[in-house]
Structure 1
Amino acid sequence: MKKQILTLVITAALSVGAVNANEAGDWVIRAGATNVDPDNGNSGVFVDALGGDTPLSLSVEDDTQLGLNFAYFFSSNWAVELLAATPFNHDVIINDSTGIAPGIFGVPVDGATLAEVQHLPPTLSVLYYFTTNGSFQPYLGLGLNYTTFFEEKFKSDPDALGFNDLELDDSWGYSAQVGLDFYFTDNWLVNASARYIDIESDASFKIGEIPGSSSVEIDPMVYSLMLGYKF
């Protein structure tokens, strides 16, 4: 679905015409599915008592929630948009490509679900709508994201091994997006968008009383498919 949404948005965004149906003072409210798909790169794990670097790394799974956004047009081509959503819940996977970790913890850990975290990523963006002469209204956007993490907790097995006190710092970063509104009536529309969000967080935890940390680069692609209404 992610590739189909991205292909639809990019293809339509290249179809630029001559007339824009948007007007200054218009509001658009949208709601629908939003998927946060973190970067597949792994973040290193550091434990002071083990000399700092370890063979372990962390990766974050994707999640889909109800997305909401609100756009206000201050001219026919320019709008400001706020992205909101219900809390995203992500599994944090621990990776060990070397196979050394069982000698440290006594059990295999590669691919195990280490923890889960929730976050909210409100994003405020400025959008530029291309002038078109039809129902398709493609746009580009740049914005600022604030991501707050909460409900960080280790799963039962890692908890039994002594993992505790997991915390992730909140994050500020930029976002960039491409999107499309398709009007099937004068006021109702379907929206598809794909955006990149710069999200990085410093994670801290303990193994027993031994401190550990990781610099987690989430940097997700965020895909949305929504129903909207303009008034």
Structure 2
Amino acid sequence: MKISVLALLVAACAPVAASAHQAGDFFMRAGSATVRPTGGSDNVLGLGEFDINNNTQLGLTFTYMLTDHVGVELLGATPFRHKVGLASTGTLATVHQLPPTLMAQWYFMDNNSKLQPYAGIGVNYTMFYDTDFNQTGRDAGLSNLSVKNSWGVAGQVGLDYQLTPQWMLNASLWYMDINTKVRFDAAGAGRQSIDTHINPFVFFFGAGYRF
């Protein structure tokens, strides 16, 4: 009897173990999201392919666990800002984009593991806006820049580490199929339409909270 009472007291005073994802959980992750384009474009006015720089913003993901192993996640972020140019001219324009992405995920471990590796596949919709040539572009006779919005497939691998029942650390890698058309007017050459393949990797590092 004394042993049983002692065991109950020890159990009551012990720290609560960090529990992993379970059916019905809803959690949000926030952290740095870096978009690193990997693609290229058709030849631009005989001067080569577009060069698009990396950009880092605040990334947000919202996940709902349908089962202990299957989740649905929505990726959002503050607007990404990319400089676009050519090797021979430098930066010619600035383009803003938002890439909301919906993923179906599979979590590999059982729900008593603090480490939760996962993989996902889904669809990405990239919205381009606030596109404008800088002074270098305008001096080169370029105007009326537009970038077509894009639908594409997205893939993901990631890892959560559960710190407490509510808090977790996260690292994930995304790949997005982003193909678009960049259109602009070039003095003496008329309206141009350049097939452009951005196809970025997105690196995410952050923390998550279960509600």
TM-score, normalised on structure 1? 0.79
Alignment pair present for 1:221 and 2:181? no
- Asked whether the equivalents of residues 45 and 212 of structure 1 are also in contact (C-alpha less than 8 Å), the reply is no
Equivalent-residue separation in structure 1 for 2:152 and 2:89 (angstroms)? 29
Partner SS state of residue 186, structure 1? coil
Alignment pair present for 1:92 and 2:84? yes
Displacement, 1:46? Answer: 4.9
Displacement, 1:162? Answer: 1.3
Partner of 1:32: 31
User: CA distance change for structure 1 residues 227 and 79 in 2, over 3 Å: closer, same or farther?
Assistant: same
- Asked whether the equivalents of residues 45 and 213 of structure 1 are also in contact (C-alpha less than 8 Å), the reply is no
- Asked whether the equivalents of residues 33 and 203 of structure 2 are also in contact (C-alpha less than 8 Å), the reply is yes
Equivalent-residue separation in structure 2 for 1:168 and 1:94 (angstroms)? 16
- Asked whether the equivalents of residues 109 and 115 of structure 2 are also in contact (C-alpha less than 8 Å), the reply is no
Alignment pair present for 1:22 and 2:21? yes
Equivalent-residue separation in structure 2 for 1:130 and 1:112 (angstroms)? 45
Equivalent-residue separation in structure 2 for 1:131 and 1:227 (angstroms)? 19
Partner of 1:79: 71
For structure 1, the 5+ residue unaligned runs are 1-19, 48-53, 96-109
Number of residue pairs aligned between Structure 1 and Structure 2: 191
User: CA distance change for structure 1 residues 37 and 172 in 2, over 3 Å: closer, same or farther?
Assistant: same
In our comparison, the structure showing a higher alpha carbon Rg is 2
- Asked whether the equivalents of residues 106 and 120 of structure 2 are also in contact (C-alpha less than 8 Å), the reply is yes
Displacement, 1:111? Answer: 5.1
- Asked whether the equivalents of residues 81 and 96 of structure 2 are also in contact (C-alpha less than 8 Å), the reply is yes
Letter in 1 for 2:209: Y
Alignment pair present for 1:134 and 2:126? no
Partner of 1:45: 43
Equivalent-residue separation in structure 2 for 1:183 and 1:22 (angstroms)? 9
Letter in 1 for 2:94: E
For structure 2, the 5+ residue unaligned runs are 1-18
Within 5 A, what are the aligned runs for 1:1-231? 21-39=20-38, 41-46=39-44, 54-95=46-87, 110=88, 112-132=90-110, 133-208=112-187, 210-231=190-211
Equivalent-residue separation in structure 2 for 1:199 and 1:64 (angstroms)? 17
Partner SS state of residue 69, structure 1? strand
Equivalent-residue separation in structure 1 for 2:48 and 2:159 (angstroms)? 41
Equivalent-residue separation in structure 2 for 1:219 and 1:56 (angstroms)? 18
Identity %: 40
Cα RMSD over matched residues? Answer: 1.5
Partner SS state of residue 164, structure 2? coil
Letter in 2 for 1:28: F
Displacement, 1:56? Answer: 2.5
